[in-house]
């Protein structure tokens, strides 16, 4: 045999020399849930190891994680039911928990990259990402106007990156124009470009109490059967001025990540969502899979498929393992 591929795996050092993909702490973004009040901490049943934290505890936690190499966080507010309404009006309040969190974190940890979620669903009583018409259809253009206001509020509060996660048409261009007209031309837009109508968001909706009161999100989120459609969304987002694109979920959609990687030169993110994390944790708690190595393999695979940036609830575990393998 002239070719013996196993020679390249003969020792750990050789294997490492020829390793094609590597994970780095700087690839990771930790999504976090913010509670109102102070000294509040709640576990999330379906997401072991993840907690909802009030801002004071969140700051403590992030100070420690930032020292360990965490560079970026994606923030999601937990809104009390009594504050939710049909139009998600709490989402535009300057004294809301997300704007206050952005202000405090930008002041205390100025080098940490803050990614804010721009969408109505945490704030609406029906749990949809947009305004509903009289037959319960999510109306696009009126929703987009609210998103532009929300994006400006987040930028003013300290968000480095605004991330519209709603899948309304035309929102990237509208947000870019509104940010620029308010002189936030340095604020980046990370677009949830190909966000699928997935069953894997279930634990996240438990975490935020944002379960749908009726209907489904299939008139705005994408059909899991479609890949070409993701390319259409990507070219629109890119023309509309998105700085970064995202595929969500990640693990079931590696082909979509790979397709977008070859179709665009923009930085590409992937969101390993709550259901992906819950599956790994549940199997580990049963003693059926080793959590740490499965997590690292899943993250490496997402990167190998073409993602530059990975949002994952496993970021804390991954950081520890990357710092001390």
Interface residues toward ligand PBG, by CB under 6 A: 117, 119, 121, 129, 165-166, 201, 204-205, 217, 273-274
What's the closest the beta carbon of residue 211 comes to ligand PBG, in angstroms? 9
In the structure, how many helices (H) and strands (E) does the chain have?
Answer: 11, 12
Q: Quick check: is 195 catalytic? A: yes
Q: Which ranges of 216-311 would DSSP assign to H, the alpha helix?
A: 228-239, 254-263, 274-285, 291-305
Could you give the CA distance from residue 98 to residue 83 in angstroms, rounded to a whole number? 14
Which one, 160 or 166, has the nearer CB to ligand PBG? Answer: 166
Q: Please, which residues have CB within 8 angstroms of residue 239's CB and are 6 or more apart in sequence?
A: none
Q: Please, which residues have CB within 8 angstroms of residue 74's CB and are 6 or more apart in sequence?
A: 29, 30, 31, 32, 115, 116, 117, 163, 311
Report whether 52 contacts 97 (CB < 8 A). no
Picking from 56, 36, 32, the residue whose alpha carbon sits closest to that of residue 44 is: 32
Ranked by CB distance to ligand PBG, the top (closest) residue is: 204
Which one, 201 or 291, has the nearer CB to ligand PBG? Answer: 201
Picking from 245, 251, 253, the residue whose alpha carbon sits closest to that of residue 224 is: 253
Catalytic residue among 217, 248, 303, 316: 248
What's the closest the beta carbon of residue 64 comes to ligand PBG, in angstroms? 23
Q: Quick check: is 248 catalytic? A: yes
- Backbone torsions φ then ψ of 126, nearest 5 degrees: -90, -10
Which one, 205 or 227, has the nearer CB to ligand PBG? Answer: 205
Catalytic residue among 84, 195, 303, 316: 195
Side-chain-facing half-sphere of 101: CA atoms under 13 Å: 31
What's the closest the beta carbon of residue 206 comes to ligand PBG, in angstroms? 10
Which one, 75 or 231, has the nearer CB to ligand PBG? Answer: 75
What's the closest the beta carbon of residue 201 comes to ligand PBG, in angstroms? 4
Which one, 47 or 305, has the nearer CB to ligand PBG? Answer: 47
φ/ψ bin of 74: left (φ > 0), alpha (ψ from -120 to 50), beta (otherwise): beta
What's the closest the beta carbon of residue 121 comes to ligand PBG, in angstroms? 5
DSSP state of 42: E
Active site residues: 195, 248
């Amino acid at each position: 045999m002239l070719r013996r591929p196993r020679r390249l795996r003969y020792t750990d050092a050789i294997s490492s020399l020829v390793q094609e993909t590597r994970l780095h702490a700087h690839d990771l973004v930790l999504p976090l849930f913010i509670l109102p009040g102070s000294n509040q901490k709640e576990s999330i049943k379906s997401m072991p190891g993840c907690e909802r934290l009030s801002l004071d505890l969140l700051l403590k936690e992030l100070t420690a994680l930032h020292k360990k190499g965490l560079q970026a966080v994606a923030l999601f507010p937990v809104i009390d039911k009594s504050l939710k309404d049909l139009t998600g009006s709490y989402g535009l309040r300057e004294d809301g928990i997300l704007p206050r969190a952005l202000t405090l974190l930008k002041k205390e940890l100025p080098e940490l990259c803050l990614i804010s979620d721009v969408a109505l669903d945490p704030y609406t009583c029906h749990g949809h990402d947009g305004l509903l018409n009289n037959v319960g259809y999510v109306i696009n253009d009126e929703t987009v106007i609210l998103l532009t206001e929300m994006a400006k509020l987040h930028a003013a509060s300290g968000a480095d990156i605004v991330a519209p996660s709603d899948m309304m048409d035309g929102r990237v261009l509208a947000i870019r124009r509104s940010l620029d007209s308010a002189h936030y031309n340095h604020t980046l837009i990370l677009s949830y470009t190909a966000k699928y109508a997935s069953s894997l968001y279930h634990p996240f909706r438990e975490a935020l109490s944002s379960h749908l009161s009726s209907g489904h999100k299939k008139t705005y989120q994408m059909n899991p059967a479609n890949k070409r459609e993701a390319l259409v969304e990507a070219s629109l987002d890119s023309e509309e001025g998105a700085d970064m694109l995202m595929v969500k979920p990640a693990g079931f959609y590696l082909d979509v990540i790979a397709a977008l990687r070859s179709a665009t030169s923009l930085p590409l993110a992937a969101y390993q969502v709550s259901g992906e994390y819950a599956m790994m944790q549940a199997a580990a708690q049963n003693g059926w899979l080793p959590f740490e190595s499965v997590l690292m393999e899943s993250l490496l695979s997402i990167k190998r498929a073409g993602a530059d940036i990975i949002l994952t609830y496993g970021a804390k575990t991954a950081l520890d393992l990357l710092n001390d393998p």
